[in-house]
Amino acid sequence: MLRYLWFLALVLALVIGGGRVFASEYKRVPGPFAVDTALGEWRDEAREGRVVPYKIYYARDVGGAAPVVIFSHGLGGSREGGAYLGEHLASYGYVAVHIQHPGTDSQIWDDGISLSAAREGAMDVESARNRFLDIPFVIDALEAMNAKGAFKGRFDLDHIGMSGHSYGAVSTMVAAGQKMGGLRLRSYAEERIDAAIAYSPSPAGGNLRAPNLDRLVRHYDDIRVPIFHMTGTEDGSPLRDMDPEERQLPFKTIDTVDQYLLVLDGGDHMVFNGERVRGPERDTDARHHDLIRMASIAFWDAELMDDAEARAWLDEGGFTQELGDDGTFEVKKAR
Protein backbone atom coordinates (compact mmCIF):
# COMPACT_ATOMS: atom_id res chain seq x y z
CA MET A 1 0.00 0.00 0.00
CA LEU A 2 2.78 2.45 0.92
CA ARG A 3 4.62 1.61 -2.29
CA TYR A 4 1.44 2.32 -4.27
CA LEU A 5 0.95 5.69 -2.56
CA TRP A 6 4.56 6.64 -3.24
CA PHE A 7 4.17 5.68 -6.90
CA LEU A 8 0.94 7.70 -7.16
CA ALA A 9 2.62 10.75 -5.66
CA LEU A 10 5.48 10.41 -8.14
CA VAL A 11 3.07 10.20 -11.09
CA LEU A 12 1.19 13.30 -9.90
CA ALA A 13 4.44 15.22 -9.52
CA LEU A 14 5.48 14.26 -13.04
CA VAL A 15 2.13 15.35 -14.45
CA ILE A 16 2.13 18.66 -12.58
CA GLY A 17 5.79 19.30 -13.31
CA GLY A 18 5.54 18.59 -17.02
CA GLY A 19 7.65 15.45 -16.81
CA ARG A 20 10.07 16.63 -14.12
CA VAL A 21 10.01 16.25 -10.37
CA PHE A 22 10.53 19.66 -8.72
CA ALA A 23 11.25 20.55 -5.16
CA SER A 24 8.09 22.31 -4.05
CA GLU A 25 9.87 25.39 -2.74
CA TYR A 26 12.56 27.53 -4.32
CA LYS A 27 14.75 29.48 -1.89
CA ARG A 28 11.84 30.26 0.43
CA VAL A 29 14.02 30.69 3.51
CA PRO A 30 16.88 33.22 3.72
CA GLY A 31 20.11 32.28 2.01
CA PRO A 32 23.55 31.52 3.49
CA PHE A 33 24.92 35.06 3.64
CA ALA A 34 24.60 37.56 6.47
CA VAL A 35 23.14 40.81 5.14
CA ASP A 36 24.49 44.32 5.69
CA THR A 37 23.02 47.61 4.51
CA ALA A 38 24.49 50.94 3.47
CA LEU A 39 22.59 54.23 3.47
CA GLY A 40 23.59 57.24 1.45
CA GLU A 41 22.62 59.63 -1.30
CA TRP A 42 23.80 60.61 -4.73
CA ARG A 43 23.69 64.14 -6.13
CA ASP A 44 22.99 64.73 -9.82
CA GLU A 45 24.60 68.03 -10.75
CA ALA A 46 23.17 67.76 -14.27
CA ARG A 47 19.69 68.13 -12.76
CA GLU A 48 20.34 71.10 -10.49
CA GLY A 49 21.80 69.00 -7.71
CA ARG A 50 18.87 66.57 -7.45
CA VAL A 51 19.53 64.26 -4.48
CA VAL A 52 18.64 60.57 -4.81
CA PRO A 53 18.81 58.68 -1.48
CA TYR A 54 19.63 54.97 -1.54
CA LYS A 55 19.72 51.89 0.66
CA ILE A 56 21.96 49.06 -0.50
CA TYR A 57 21.47 45.50 0.76
CA TYR A 58 24.53 43.29 0.25
CA ALA A 59 26.02 40.02 1.41
CA ARG A 60 28.69 40.52 4.02
CA ASP A 61 31.09 37.74 3.02
CA VAL A 62 30.39 37.10 -0.65
CA GLY A 63 33.47 37.10 -2.84
CA GLY A 64 33.67 39.01 -6.11
CA ALA A 65 31.05 40.96 -8.03
CA ALA A 66 27.34 40.18 -7.70
CA PRO A 67 24.37 40.95 -9.96
CA VAL A 68 22.50 44.13 -9.06
CA VAL A 69 18.72 44.51 -8.65
CA ILE A 70 17.32 48.05 -8.40
CA PHE A 71 14.02 48.69 -6.59
CA SER A 72 11.84 51.79 -7.14
CA HIS A 73 9.15 52.64 -4.56
CA GLY A 74 5.55 53.68 -5.16
CA LEU A 75 4.03 57.13 -4.73
CA GLY A 76 4.66 58.35 -1.19
CA GLY A 77 7.20 55.60 -0.51
CA SER A 78 10.89 55.64 0.28
CA ARG A 79 14.10 53.64 0.05
CA GLU A 80 12.73 51.54 2.95
CA GLY A 81 10.02 50.01 0.74
CA GLY A 82 10.32 46.40 -0.36
CA ALA A 83 12.79 45.57 2.42
CA TYR A 84 11.64 41.92 2.50
CA LEU A 85 12.82 41.59 -1.10
CA GLY A 86 16.14 43.38 -0.67
CA GLU A 87 17.07 41.34 2.40
CA HIS A 88 16.15 38.06 0.72
CA LEU A 89 18.12 38.79 -2.44
CA ALA A 90 21.20 39.89 -0.52
CA SER A 91 21.11 36.72 1.59
CA TYR A 92 21.67 34.82 -1.66
CA GLY A 93 24.53 37.02 -2.82
CA TYR A 94 22.78 39.70 -4.86
CA VAL A 95 23.21 43.44 -4.39
CA ALA A 96 19.80 45.11 -3.96
CA VAL A 97 19.76 48.87 -4.49
CA HIS A 98 16.59 50.55 -3.21
CA ILE A 99 16.31 54.14 -4.35
CA GLN A 100 14.14 57.10 -3.35
CA HIS A 101 12.58 59.58 -5.78
CA PRO A 102 12.29 63.15 -4.42
CA GLY A 103 8.99 64.78 -5.32
CA THR A 104 7.01 61.54 -5.29
CA ASP A 105 8.41 60.06 -2.07
CA SER A 106 7.27 60.02 1.58
CA GLN A 107 7.90 63.75 1.89
CA ILE A 108 4.52 64.39 0.27
CA TRP A 109 2.81 62.94 3.34
CA ASP A 110 5.07 64.94 5.67
CA ASP A 111 3.92 68.03 3.80
CA GLY A 112 0.33 67.08 4.69
CA ILE A 113 -1.04 67.02 1.16
CA SER A 114 -4.40 65.42 0.36
CA LEU A 115 -4.96 62.24 -1.59
CA SER A 116 -6.25 64.26 -4.54
CA ALA A 117 -3.10 66.39 -4.47
CA ALA A 118 -1.00 63.22 -4.38
CA ARG A 119 -2.89 62.03 -7.45
CA GLU A 120 -2.11 65.28 -9.25
CA GLY A 121 1.53 64.99 -8.21
CA ALA A 122 1.73 61.53 -9.69
CA MET A 123 0.52 62.94 -12.99
CA ASP A 124 2.95 65.89 -12.98
CA VAL A 125 5.08 65.62 -16.11
CA GLU A 126 8.27 66.97 -14.54
CA SER A 127 8.01 64.71 -11.47
CA ALA A 128 7.52 61.70 -13.72
CA ARG A 129 10.38 62.72 -15.97
CA ASN A 130 12.72 63.04 -13.00
CA ARG A 131 11.66 59.60 -11.77
CA PHE A 132 12.49 58.06 -15.12
CA LEU A 133 15.82 59.88 -15.35
CA ASP A 134 16.77 58.67 -11.87
CA ILE A 135 17.31 55.15 -13.24
CA PRO A 136 20.18 55.84 -15.68
CA PHE A 137 21.65 58.28 -13.15
CA VAL A 138 21.65 55.58 -10.46
CA ILE A 139 23.37 53.09 -12.76
CA ASP A 140 26.00 55.72 -13.58
CA ALA A 141 26.48 56.28 -9.84
CA LEU A 142 26.87 52.54 -9.26
CA GLU A 143 29.50 52.40 -11.97
CA ALA A 144 31.44 55.13 -10.14
CA MET A 145 31.10 53.30 -6.79
CA ASN A 146 32.25 50.08 -8.45
CA ALA A 147 35.46 51.77 -9.59
CA LYS A 148 36.69 52.90 -6.16
CA GLY A 149 35.78 53.02 -2.50
CA ALA A 150 34.11 50.54 -0.15
CA PHE A 151 32.13 48.86 -2.94
CA LYS A 152 34.96 48.63 -5.46
CA GLY A 153 34.48 45.55 -7.61
CA ARG A 154 31.33 44.43 -5.72
CA PHE A 155 28.77 45.14 -8.46
CA ASP A 156 28.35 42.95 -11.53
CA LEU A 157 26.96 45.69 -13.75
CA ASP A 158 26.81 43.40 -16.76
CA HIS A 159 23.80 41.80 -15.04
CA ILE A 160 21.27 44.38 -13.83
CA GLY A 161 17.64 43.81 -12.89
CA MET A 162 15.09 46.60 -12.53
CA SER A 163 12.04 46.35 -10.28
CA GLY A 164 9.47 48.50 -8.54
CA HIS A 165 6.06 48.65 -6.91
CA SER A 166 3.05 50.69 -8.13
CA TYR A 167 4.50 53.99 -9.41
CA GLY A 168 7.82 52.17 -9.14
CA ALA A 169 6.39 49.53 -11.48
CA VAL A 170 5.72 52.33 -13.97
CA SER A 171 9.35 53.46 -13.55
CA THR A 172 10.39 49.85 -14.13
CA MET A 173 8.30 49.41 -17.27
CA VAL A 174 9.60 52.70 -18.66
CA ALA A 175 13.21 51.70 -18.00
CA ALA A 176 12.45 48.39 -19.72
CA GLY A 177 11.28 50.24 -22.84
CA GLN A 178 7.65 51.32 -22.33
CA LYS A 179 7.14 54.63 -24.11
CA MET A 180 5.33 57.51 -22.45
CA GLY A 181 3.09 60.26 -23.78
CA GLY A 182 0.04 60.65 -25.99
CA LEU A 183 0.29 61.27 -29.71
CA ARG A 184 4.03 61.86 -29.47
CA LEU A 185 5.63 59.05 -27.51
CA ARG A 186 8.96 59.34 -25.76
CA SER A 187 11.31 56.58 -24.67
CA TYR A 188 13.39 56.53 -21.46
CA ALA A 189 14.62 52.99 -22.04
CA GLU A 190 17.77 52.00 -20.17
CA GLU A 191 19.76 49.56 -22.28
CA ARG A 192 21.92 48.37 -19.37
CA ILE A 193 18.92 46.59 -17.80
CA ASP A 194 18.68 42.86 -18.53
CA ALA A 195 15.33 41.92 -16.93
CA ALA A 196 12.52 43.48 -14.90
CA ILE A 197 9.85 42.74 -12.30
CA ALA A 198 6.80 45.01 -12.11
CA TYR A 199 4.91 44.66 -8.82
CA SER A 200 1.36 46.03 -9.35
CA PRO A 201 1.91 47.27 -12.92
CA SER A 202 -0.41 49.76 -14.59
CA PRO A 203 -1.41 49.83 -18.27
CA ALA A 204 0.18 52.52 -20.39
CA GLY A 205 -2.32 55.24 -21.24
CA GLY A 206 -4.15 55.23 -17.89
CA ASN A 207 -7.54 53.89 -16.93
CA LEU A 208 -8.96 51.73 -19.73
CA ARG A 209 -12.45 50.51 -19.01
CA ALA A 210 -12.88 49.00 -22.47
CA PRO A 211 -9.25 48.30 -23.33
CA ASN A 212 -8.19 48.30 -26.92
CA LEU A 213 -5.01 46.25 -26.86
CA ASP A 214 -4.01 47.47 -30.31
CA ARG A 215 -3.83 50.97 -28.87
CA LEU A 216 -1.37 49.79 -26.23
CA VAL A 217 0.99 47.98 -28.59
CA ARG A 218 2.79 51.14 -29.66
CA HIS A 219 3.65 51.89 -26.02
CA TYR A 220 5.26 48.47 -25.61
CA ASP A 221 6.73 47.57 -28.98
CA ASP A 222 10.27 48.63 -27.99
CA ILE A 223 10.48 46.37 -24.94
CA ARG A 224 13.34 43.92 -25.34
CA VAL A 225 13.84 42.50 -21.84
CA PRO A 226 11.86 39.73 -20.09
CA ILE A 227 9.38 41.06 -17.51
CA PHE A 228 7.65 39.37 -14.60
CA HIS A 229 4.32 41.07 -13.81
CA MET A 230 2.95 40.46 -10.30
CA THR A 231 -0.50 41.51 -9.13
CA GLY A 232 -3.52 40.23 -7.19
CA THR A 233 -7.26 39.80 -7.52
CA GLU A 234 -7.79 42.74 -5.12
CA ASP A 235 -4.98 44.91 -6.48
CA GLY A 236 -6.90 48.09 -7.13
CA SER A 237 -5.41 51.57 -6.88
CA PRO A 238 -5.31 53.78 -3.76
CA LEU A 239 -5.37 56.85 -6.01
CA ARG A 240 -8.09 56.13 -8.55
CA ASP A 241 -10.80 53.69 -9.50
CA MET A 242 -9.07 50.75 -11.14
CA ASP A 243 -10.27 47.28 -11.98
CA PRO A 244 -7.56 44.88 -10.71
CA GLU A 245 -7.66 43.04 -14.04
CA GLU A 246 -6.32 46.18 -15.75
CA ARG A 247 -2.97 45.44 -14.15
CA GLN A 248 -2.70 42.36 -16.36
CA LEU A 249 -2.89 44.37 -19.59
CA PRO A 250 0.87 44.92 -20.01
CA PHE A 251 1.44 41.14 -19.81
CA LYS A 252 -1.36 40.48 -22.28
CA THR A 253 -0.08 43.10 -24.72
CA ILE A 254 3.69 42.56 -24.80
CA ASP A 255 4.81 39.76 -27.09
CA THR A 256 8.28 40.88 -28.20
CA VAL A 257 10.05 39.00 -25.39
CA ASP A 258 9.23 36.40 -22.73
CA GLN A 259 6.66 37.55 -20.14
CA TYR A 260 5.50 36.08 -16.82
CA LEU A 261 2.34 36.84 -14.83
CA LEU A 262 1.51 36.02 -11.21
CA VAL A 263 -1.98 36.86 -9.90
CA LEU A 264 -2.30 36.20 -6.17
CA ASP A 265 -5.74 35.16 -5.00
CA GLY A 266 -6.81 37.87 -2.55
CA GLY A 267 -3.60 39.81 -3.11
CA ASP A 268 -4.11 43.55 -2.64
CA HIS A 269 -2.02 46.54 -3.61
CA MET A 270 0.13 46.96 -0.52
CA VAL A 271 1.11 43.31 -0.05
CA PHE A 272 3.82 43.81 -2.67
CA ASN A 273 5.37 46.69 -0.70
CA GLY A 274 6.03 44.28 2.15
CA GLU A 275 5.07 46.67 4.92
CA ARG A 276 1.60 48.13 5.36
CA VAL A 277 1.73 51.85 6.00
CA ARG A 278 -1.98 51.97 6.73
CA GLY A 279 -4.32 49.25 7.99
CA PRO A 280 -3.67 45.91 9.70
CA GLU A 281 -1.79 43.00 8.20
CA ARG A 282 -3.82 40.31 6.49
CA ASP A 283 -3.79 36.63 7.38
CA THR A 284 -2.58 35.89 3.84
CA ASP A 285 0.38 38.31 3.90
CA ALA A 286 3.00 35.83 5.11
CA ARG A 287 2.08 33.23 2.48
CA HIS A 288 1.93 35.86 -0.25
CA HIS A 289 5.32 37.25 0.73
CA ASP A 290 6.81 33.76 0.54
CA LEU A 291 5.40 33.29 -2.95
CA ILE A 292 6.59 36.73 -4.10
CA ARG A 293 10.09 36.13 -2.76
CA MET A 294 10.37 32.67 -4.33
CA ALA A 295 9.04 33.79 -7.71
CA SER A 296 11.25 36.88 -7.72
CA ILE A 297 14.53 35.19 -6.89
CA ALA A 298 13.82 32.33 -9.30
CA PHE A 299 13.28 34.89 -12.06
CA TRP A 300 16.47 36.79 -11.20
CA ASP A 301 18.43 33.52 -10.98
CA ALA A 302 17.16 32.55 -14.42
CA GLU A 303 17.69 35.91 -16.10
CA LEU A 304 20.74 37.36 -14.30
CA MET A 305 22.52 34.13 -13.33
CA ASP A 306 21.46 32.03 -16.35
CA ASP A 307 20.43 29.31 -13.89
CA ALA A 308 18.80 26.48 -15.83
CA GLU A 309 17.16 24.95 -12.74
CA ALA A 310 15.53 28.25 -11.79
CA ARG A 311 14.23 28.70 -15.31
CA ALA A 312 12.84 25.19 -15.39
CA TRP A 313 11.14 25.70 -12.00
CA LEU A 314 9.31 28.68 -13.47
CA ASP A 315 8.71 27.46 -17.01
CA GLU A 316 7.97 23.76 -16.47
CA GLY A 317 5.61 23.66 -13.52
CA GLY A 318 7.60 23.94 -10.30
CA PHE A 319 6.18 27.30 -9.30
CA THR A 320 2.68 26.35 -10.41
CA GLN A 321 2.94 23.32 -8.14
CA GLU A 322 4.07 25.47 -5.20
CA LEU A 323 1.42 28.13 -5.88
CA GLY A 324 -1.47 25.68 -5.75
CA ASP A 325 -4.80 27.39 -5.13
CA ASP A 326 -3.19 30.63 -3.92
CA GLY A 327 -3.19 32.20 -7.36
CA THR A 328 -2.55 31.73 -11.06
CA PHE A 329 0.70 31.79 -13.00
CA GLU A 330 1.25 32.19 -16.73
CA VAL A 331 4.31 32.09 -18.96
CA LYS A 332 4.15 33.71 -22.39
CA LYS A 333 7.08 33.14 -24.70
CA ALA A 334 8.06 35.70 -27.32
CA ARG A 335 6.48 35.30 -30.74
Q: According to the model, what pLDDT value does residue 238 have? A: 72
Q: According to the model, what pLDDT value does residue 46 have? A: 97
How far is 90 from 32, CA to CA, in rounded Å?
A: 10
Count of alpha carbons within 13 Å of 68, Cβ hemisphere only?
26
Walk along the chain (335 residues) in steps of 10 and give the mean pLDDT of each run: 41 46 85 97 97 97 92 94 97 98 83 61 80 98 97 97 97 96 86 98 66 73 96 86 90 95 96 81 94 98 98 96 97 91
Answer yes or no: pTM beyond 0.85.
yes
DSSP character string of 267-331 = EESGGGTSS-SSSPPPTTHHHHHHHHHHHHHHHHHHHHS--HHHHHHHHSSHHHHHHGGGEEEEE
Residue 120, φ and ψ in degrees, nearest 5? -65, -40
Q: According to the model, what pLDDT value does residue 214 have? A: 65
> What's the Rg (C-alpha) of the chain?
20
Assign a CATH topology to domain 2-332.
Answer: Rossmann fold (3.40.50)
Q: Which residues contact 292 (CB under 8 A, 6 or more apart)?
A: 85, 199, 230, 262, 264, 271, 272
